[in-house]
Structure 1
Amino acid sequence: MLHSIRYKFIIITTVLIIFSANLVFFLAINEHEDLYRQSVKQNLDAMSSNISDSLLRVMSEQVDLFSITTELLGFDRYEHIKFVNVFDADWQLIQSYVHPNYLELESFKPELISIQPKDLPYAVTITNEGLVALKAIGEEQFPIGYLLIVQDFKKPLNESKISLFYSAAPFVVLIIALTIIISFWIYQRLLSPLLALSKFTQKVEKSTNYKLQYQVTGHDEVSQLGNDINALLQTIDSQVQTNHKHTAQLLVQTHSMERLANYDILTGLPNRMFFMDLLKLELASSKSNDRDVAIMFFDVDSFKGVNDTLGHETGDMLLQAVAKKVKSYLRSNDIIARLGGDEFLIMLPNITEQSIVIDIAESIIEGMKEPFTINEWDVPAGISIGIASAKEAEFDINTFISNADIAMYTSKEKGKGAYTIFHHKMLEDNKRKAQVANLISHAIAQNEFELFYQLKMSNTGEAQGLEALIRWQSKELGFVSPGEFIPIAEQAGKIKAITQWVITQVFKDMQMLKQLMGNNVLVSMNLSSHDLKDHNFIHTVKSKLLEHSVDISNIQFEITESSYLENFENANQFFNQVKVMGGSIALDDFGTGYSSLSYLTKIEIDTLKIDRMFVNQYASSAKDTAVLQAILDLGQRLGLKICSEGIETTDQANYLVSNGSDEMQGYYFAKPVCIAQLPHAIEQAKILFKELTITSK
């Protein structure tokens, strides 16, 4: 019963009513007390004034104790007067009067009270004895005596308050009871439609009869809720009927496919052979009816890593979960098939608008962001999708699938977990990538690669560091940007050879670099996530250090934030070994990857490199400035050296030096140059630094 909203409302209302009534009653009692006290003070003041006037007549000629006593006996009719004292002009007690009601008080001696009459004003004063009225007999400047009256006000006040309480309490209780009854009745009337609606929904739940309709009366929120439930029931009923039809059709197709053995054993999806047959039929039908067909080619990102780390059983369960989840986003006539391994194809027939395919792709990508729970492991399983159109492939099945495949690999290059729609420019791009990949080995053999070095300036204006950057001037392709050939090398499995070439060349240049910049020069070089996966990479580094007699304290390895977190355990092992040897580690592009601060407490790094994006945007708004300042403060608090990249203006350099950046790197100081141009670059960078106007943080 206590879980009911109705009873909760009644209880809350009752408590509030009782609290409010008691509060009002308490305030009324206090107000009564104040009014009573004020009234008694006024009466006592008037009484004392009258008595002092009477005593003036008695004491004008000589002190007549009998007459004074006669005047004082008049106080017998005032039951709350405790005692009265009459003093002469020298404050000598002439006569004292004690009311009979207070004679019985044990050891009551009015002349021994704590009141000091001389210290009292000519008015009514509240003391420990009660209300005290002091009046001068005669003129206040030349009195012939003094009158002191003490009245008890606490006892009558308490009696008055008790009387008020007993007279008002029945009415208060009656009002509270009536208010509670009325509130109960109102809540009963207001909540009865909601209770009826609740019973109706329970009836629908038990009967599973979605044709039922709630009888709506009124126009309030509950009535609107009833209309919404009716509309929802109609939608559910319609969907149930549609699902029944689809279920019947799927059962027929299932029996047919099982007979033909065209299902994939692991996922239960159509296999490659059956899918190709269905696709051929659909292409022929669509071509004759001038309809378009779309396909989605996708595979599971990082699936090999799941197999390697968690086992093939977990990998198989992941494929089953992926197939099931992706299928949930498709239309009833769409077909998903497993080609083999972690590759899947989806056929989307009767496409009238490209937006239909895009909506489905976006739903799948979004839905796959949440990891799967398999064998108590949270397994991430993003997918990369390539989309192709049958009309664009001129309904040729091989071209159709090839286009989707090319689009899928374009999605992977975007960073995975994305979709790409094929266009013909990708054929040229794909051809270019194949050409670049094939020429990388040739470039190493023919020594077409060259190392450039970019200066790192300290916040004191010293050129104390360099970053080694690879450049490729191909005899066949001309200049090839690192932004182009590095990702291709990673995809083609040739990045390790490039890394080893860079390390070897840096070690060969080290002696000359020390001559130019001193024995403490620190040269950094970038590592790929593929390098971290290679357990033998650390041995390669060690052997080359010995071969070229290089002190590892002059070497710093840079790894991007995202690459580090993708290879968390391998990276930490490599970092620890480098640190033990005396080398240093820099975390590159900080803030652009996962941006999780928790790993910063678990990683052994020396330098935090702020990405150029934060440097370029720091002055765009107060928020951008706050973000950059927060990164600088974070690095300082963690005891890390801060290196800011991408500095291109004087304002950027001034701001970073003034706000705690230890090192700066960018085109403002020096572009990457070959080793022969380093002396000139160092000289120019120092001149530019001296021109800075640096302010304290």
Structure 2
Amino acid sequence: MASVALFSRSKYGRAGSFMDRLLYTFSVFVVPALIAVGTVATLLWAPHQFESNGAVVLPLRVIKDPRSALDPAGAVKALEDQAEVGRFSTQLAETPVWFLFNVPNMSLEQSTYVELPSRHAQTLACWIASTLQPLGVANRQSTTNEISAVKAGFSVHLGHLAQPVPVLCRGTFSGPAQISALGWDGQSLRTSALDFQESSGMIGGGLLTLAVFVFVTALINREWTYVIFAAWLVGNLRLCANAMGWDMQWTGRTIPADFLQPLRQFTFAAYYLLTGALFSQLFRRELKVVGYHWLLGLGQYIGIALLVCSVALPYSRFIPALWLLGGIGIGVLIFLLARIVWLARSRTVLWYVGSLAIVLFATFSDVLGAAFSIKSLSGGVSTVMAALSSSMMAAFAIAEQMRAEREHRRQAQTELRNTYDVTPIGLFTLDSAGHFVRANPALRSMLSLQKTEYKVRHWNDYFESGAWGALQALASKGSEGELEMGGAVARGNGERRFLLKATRSNSWIEGSLQDVTERSKAIERLRFLAEHDPLTGSLNRRGVEKAIAAQSEEGAAWALAYVDLDRFKLVNDLFGHRAGDEVLKQVATRTRALFSAGFPFGRIGGDEFVCVMSGMSIDEAIDCCHHLISALSDTPYQVGNRAFQVKASVGLVECSHGVRVQDALSHADRACREAKKSSNTRMVTYRKGAAAFEERAEELKLVETLGRNRLPPGLFLVMQPIMSLTAPTESLNFEVLLRMRAPDGATLPAGKVIVAAEESGNIAAIDKWVIATLLEWVEKHQASLTNTRFICVNLSGGSLNDEQFMEDVFALFARFRHIVPYLCLEITESVALHDLGNTQRFIARVHEMGGKIALDDFGAGYTSFKYLKDLSADALKIDGEFIRTMCAHPADIAIVEAIVALARNLGMRSVAEWVEDVDTLRALKEIGVDYVQGYLIAKPQESGAILAATSAASFVKDPAVVQFIDSIVGQDKTLAFTYDVPAKAGLH
């Protein structure tokens, strides 16, 4: 039974399908074809419903009366000499016109009528010419006696005629009027009038119905181009009515005569604008290819001008404006159409061209015929067929455009469907309950989703808890938002991350899904690296500063430990950076193991670490830091087969609530530097209220003062004499030192000023000021410095590596070239060796201009001897640390002896700094040092004291030193140092 039922349903289904196809074919193809064939056959062979015998054209004699001076009798007399014509054009004249014609008997049974068919006739009066008997008068509002309105003009009833009758008429016309007279019998005229009414009703009803249909369809489908087409069809209807002469009617009602002419003018202008708008909308894609946007704009502006003319000008003047402006606009339209036909060659264009050609020819045939006196154009076109044909062709253009757009949409849908299937991004649609409606292959692969599971599986089955609620919230925001969510552990993709975008579409949710697991991991890695050191895994400077800022906002007690590894650079220099990196990793590991409580810990420099010890008193922090020093310093660091012993120094500061990040780091850094200098302990602690805090605050204030890109107030120079150990009383050499007066009048130490200037980045400007001030001072007092052979000036490393500073300084040297030989520029060996090539070029330029170079603090570095041969310096200034302790440490004496011997062998002179006792002075003399400088000789002096002295020995007050100097002076004068000869460029 079941199989029989199935067979029955199958058979019924096939029968139903066949019947559907049969009815579809009959309705779509057969019936329309029969209608079309029947219509053509009826037009060709069926008799016309209103057949008439036709009219007889009556020859006219016509004369114009521009001054309205003629009366009927005078007009008859004037018309006797005029030649007969079949049609007369008024040429837009609105003055009276008289015309005479003979009317024969048109029928033995019917009355005779004369039709005056001009639709432009405004007034009419007629007489029997032989007797001047009035026949009646008429205008567009009323008619009298034998004159009545018929079709587009007027008719004159003459009754049964026994013989021809001459008729005289006087008329006034507006527009391009054509005066003619047609003879009819009564029955034929009535038949012709019915035919006229049938034509006007057919064209009016057909076009208006089509316009309403298009308009309603356009509104429903929101296709605004077809709204323009509907309005254009109405315009086409009105132009056809104008051409046929029944435009005084609208939907069966008569338009008042006073409104008729303005309405005609507005109709022409509006039709032009509608044609241009329809053209622009239909061919917007083609116009982009064709170009000539300015030309299209010109045509649109012409339409605006024509609309203004229709309102502002009378009919007689509007028509010439219409010919001129309309002709230009039509020319623009034809040109653009020709370009589109040539480039696009679409069927839409061809149909539109045909429609426009018919409209233009039919509508303006009478106008052109009147304007150029072309008789064949006047009344030679069937306006009914023209209107229907043009509208039909325009409809074909619209239909073709619709077909093209539908095909374009079909192709777009196909492409979209293909893109939907092949896109690597997952696309989905969910119903209101959260079940899948559709999904593309990428999403099915991403979630291991089968099509058969669409209605079974829920969104929550594939994602983390709360995924469905998050998706709904996201979809409610629209297409702008996005959300990242994790997979479902139950589905085995809990580690994966997905980026989701979604929006609501009616009751469904549509969206896209991307697997961003790798990107998410990369972002997390970048976020980690933004605040962590990639080598040690601890915080970097940014992370440390963030941790300090967070801790500073809390009220609990805390401390900050600054850790620095001693002589760590040796590991990198001797065994490479890989070994050094391994040591840093082990330092971080040991520190984290010690601070198991999770204190923020990070690396902020090469071998510098910081630990934020939160929730801990300073005494507890001291105890922890001792354990840290032991953990870092006592056990060697094993790297491969080597073991390194690295010591750690710690600066510990007690911090309070609200302390600035930079202040906390600066205080801890300073404490750490003090710890590194200490030989007994590895840790220095600053408690709250420590003097170091105030000192550092003053330093920071000074840095801020010097960091405003301008010279601070209070700068001045002092000079410290440098005494020769061969001829101490014969030269007055000195070093220029910088000082600064504080607002309270106190003099700040030079070291603080220099350090603050270097930290602020303003050291180059200060060095430039020192050199410029010194050069100006020497030039001013050169006559008082007869015993001065050289003047030492320090240059900082920041200035030496500042290209703009170097250019400015050498510009000063060029300006004071005669003063430059006095200068001996001091640079530290560490700065000199930082960029050896740059230093060599600088020394060469200084020597070229007559200046001298001294290497300051010589011996404080580790590589001086290796590179000294590459530096053509004139003098070595031995580091004061060796000089101050040389008498207490024999090793220091040996070092000084080596430096002096090295300088002498290299052709340089030696200068000993920090000479503070006479024993040291005697030892330096025995070693062979050339010059000495220090408080034993003289402290820094004001410039006035220098100008009043004759030699550096003039400042000595210690009797023992005076006696020592006298012993030197008593020796052979020939031992005087040739360095004191100013004519030589170097120190010889």
TM superposition score normalised by structure 2: 0.36
Higher relative contact order (CA closer than 8 Å, sequence separation 6+) = 1
Between Structure 1 and Structure 2, whose CA radius of gyration is higher? 2
TM superposition score normalised by structure 1: 0.49
